[in-house]
Structure 1
Amino acid sequence: MNNNASLSPIQQVVAAHRRGEAAGLYSVCCSHPTVLRAAMRVAASYGSVLLVEATSNQVDQFGGYTGMTPQVFRDYVHQLAREQGFPLEQLVLGGDHLGPNAWQGLDAASAMQHAETLIAAYVAAGFHKIHLDCSMRCADDPSYLSDEIIAERSARLCTVAEQAAQQAGLPPPVYVIGTEVPIPGGEANLAQAGAVTSPVAARRTLDVHCKAFLDRKLNAAWRRVIAMVVQPGVDFDHSHIQHYDAAQAAELSDFIAGQPGIVFEAHSTDYQQEAALHRMVRDHFAILKVGPAATFALREGLMALCRIEEELVPAGQASRLMQVLDEAMQAEPRHWHKHYPGSIAEQRLLRRYGLSDRCRYYWGEPQVAAAVEKLCANLDAREIPLALLSQHLPEQYLEVLQGQLATTTSALLEHKVGRILGQYARACCRNAADSEAAAAGSAAAIC
Structure 2
Amino acid sequence: MSVRPLLELAAARQSGHAHGIVSVCSAHELVIEAALTRALETNDHVLIEATCNQVNQDGGYTGMTPADFRTFVEGVADRVGYDRGRIILGGDHLGPNPWKHLPPEDALAKAGVMIEAYARAGFEKLHLDASMGCQGEPAHLDDVVVARRAASLAARAEAQAPGRPVYVVGTEVPTPGGATEALDHLVPTTRRAVEETYRLHRKAFDAIAPDAFERVIAIVVQPGVEFGHDSVAVYRPERARDLTAALEGMPGLVFEAHSTDYQPGTALAALVRDGFPILKVGPALTFALREALYALDAIDGFLNPNRRSLIDIMEAVMLAAPAQWESHYHGTSAVRHRLRHFSYSDRIRYYWPVEAAQAAVDGLLNRLGETPLAPTLVSQYLPRLYDRVADGTLAATPRALLLQSVRDVLIMYQNAADQHS
What TM-score does the superposition give when structure 1 sets the normalisation length? 0.91
Bigger mean CA deviation after superposition, 16-25 or 144-153: 16-25
2: distance between equivalents of 1:274 and 1:358?
Answer: 24
Determine helix, strand or coil for the equivalent of 2:92. Answer: strand
One-letter amino acid matched to 1:16:
A
Is the contact made by 1:134 and 1:150 (CA closer than 8 Å) also made in structure 2? Answer: yes
1: distance between equivalents of 2:119 and 2:49?
Answer: 13
Structure 1 residues 370 and 51 mapped into 2: Cα distance closer, same or farther (>3 Å)?
A: same
Q: Give the counterpart of 2:80 among 84, 100, 111.
A: 84
Once the 2 structures are TM-superposed, how far is the Cα of residue 280 of structure 1 from its aligned partner? 0.4
Once the 2 structures are TM-superposed, how far is the Cα of residue 242 of structure 1 from its aligned partner? 0.6
Task: Name the residue aligned to 1:284.
Answer: 275
Q: Give the counterpart of 2:111 among 107, 115, 120.
A: 115
Q: Give the counterpart of 1:254 among 231, 245, 259.
A: 245
Map 1:147-162 onto structure 2 (within 5 A). Answer: 147-162=143-158
RMSD, aligned α-carbons:
1.7
Question: Any stretches of 5+ residues in structure 2 without a counterpart?
Answer: none
Structure 1 residues 143 and 414 mapped into 2: Cα distance closer, same or farther (>3 Å)?
A: closer
Is the contact made by 2:55 and 2:64 (CA closer than 8 Å) also made in structure 1? Answer: yes
Pairs aligned (count): 421
2: distance between equivalents of 1:179 and 1:410?
Answer: 38
Q: Give the counterpart of 1:264 among 252, 255, 261.
A: 255
2: distance between equivalents of 1:44 and 1:15?
Answer: 26
Map 1:298-377 onto structure 2 (within 5 A). Answer: 298-315=289-306, 318=307, 320-377=309-366
1: distance between equivalents of 2:247 and 2:7?
Answer: 17
Once the 2 structures are TM-superposed, how far is the Cα of residue 143 of structure 1 from its aligned partner? 4.9
Once the 2 structures are TM-superposed, how far is the Cα of residue 104 of structure 1 from its aligned partner? 1.2
Is the contact made by 1:193 and 1:235 (CA closer than 8 Å) also made in structure 2? Answer: no
Bigger mean CA deviation after superposition, 45-54 or 322-331: 45-54
One-letter amino acid matched to 2:393:
Q
2: distance between equivalents of 1:233 and 1:200?
Answer: 16
- Work out whether 1:215 is the aligned partner of 2:204: no
2: distance between equivalents of 1:6 and 1:270?
Answer: 25
Map 1:105-254 onto structure 2 (within 5 A). Answer: 105-166=101-162, 172-191=164-183, 194-216=186-208, 218-254=209-245
Is the contact made by 1:237 and 1:355 (CA closer than 8 Å) also made in structure 2? Answer: yes
- Work out whether 1:419 is the aligned partner of 2:408: yes
Determine helix, strand or coil for the equivalent of 2:60. Answer: coil
Q: Give the counterpart of 1:97 among 85, 93, 108.
A: 93
Once the 2 structures are TM-superposed, how far is the Cα of residue 259 of structure 1 from its aligned partner? 1.6
- List per-residue Cα deviations over 1:300-353 (Å, max 9, x = no partner): 0000000100111141xx352111111110111110111110011110000010
Map 1:369-388 onto structure 2 (within 5 A). Answer: 369-380=358-369, 382-388=371-377
One-letter amino acid matched to 2:271:
M
Identity of paired residues, percent?
A: 44
Once the 2 structures are TM-superposed, how far is the Cα of residue 87 of structure 1 from its aligned partner? 1.6
Is the contact made by 1:236 and 1:356 (CA closer than 8 Å) also made in structure 2? Answer: yes
Task: Name the residue aligned to 1:440.
Answer: none
Determine helix, strand or coil for the equivalent of 1:248. Answer: helix
2: distance between equivalents of 1:115 and 1:297?
Answer: 33
Task: Name the residue aligned to 2:397.
Answer: 408
2: distance between equivalents of 1:394 and 1:210?
Answer: 51
Determine helix, strand or coil for the equivalent of 2:301. Answer: helix
One-letter amino acid matched to 2:142:
S
Determine helix, strand or coil for the equivalent of 1:65. Answer: helix
2: distance between equivalents of 1:193 and 1:101?
Answer: 26
Q: Give the counterpart of 2:28 among 28, 32, 41.
A: 32
One-letter amino acid matched to 2:39:
A
Task: Name the residue aligned to 2:12.
Answer: 16
Task: Name the residue aligned to 1:396.
Answer: 385
1: distance between equivalents of 2:139 and 2:283?
Answer: 30
1: distance between equivalents of 2:175 and 2:185?
Answer: 9
2: distance between equivalents of 1:158 and 1:195?
Answer: 29
1: distance between equivalents of 2:310 and 2:63?
Answer: 22
Is the contact made by 1:186 and 1:356 (CA closer than 8 Å) also made in structure 2? Answer: yes
Once the 2 structures are TM-superposed, how far is the Cα of residue 257 of structure 1 from its aligned partner? 3.2
Determine helix, strand or coil for the equivalent of 1:281. Answer: helix
Is the contact made by 2:2 and 2:86 (CA closer than 8 Å) also made in structure 1? Answer: no
1: distance between equivalents of 2:372 and 2:273?
Answer: 45
One-letter amino acid matched to 1:197:
T
Is the contact made by 2:131 and 2:140 (CA closer than 8 Å) also made in structure 1? Answer: no
Once the 2 structures are TM-superposed, how far is the Cα of residue 380 of structure 1 from its aligned partner? 1.6
2: distance between equivalents of 1:332 and 1:338?
Answer: 12
Is the contact made by 2:370 and 2:398 (CA closer than 8 Å) also made in structure 1? Answer: no
1: distance between equivalents of 2:366 and 2:139?
Answer: 53
Structure 1 residues 24 and 292 mapped into 2: Cα distance closer, same or farther (>3 Å)?
A: same
Is the contact made by 2:2 and 2:88 (CA closer than 8 Å) also made in structure 1? Answer: no
Bigger mean CA deviation after superposition, 17-26 or 218-227: 17-26
Bigger mean CA deviation after superposition, 141-150 or 119-128: 141-150
What TM-score does the superposition give when structure 2 sets the normalisation length? 0.96
Is the contact made by 1:277 and 1:424 (CA closer than 8 Å) also made in structure 2? Answer: yes
2: distance between equivalents of 1:414 and 1:187?
Answer: 28
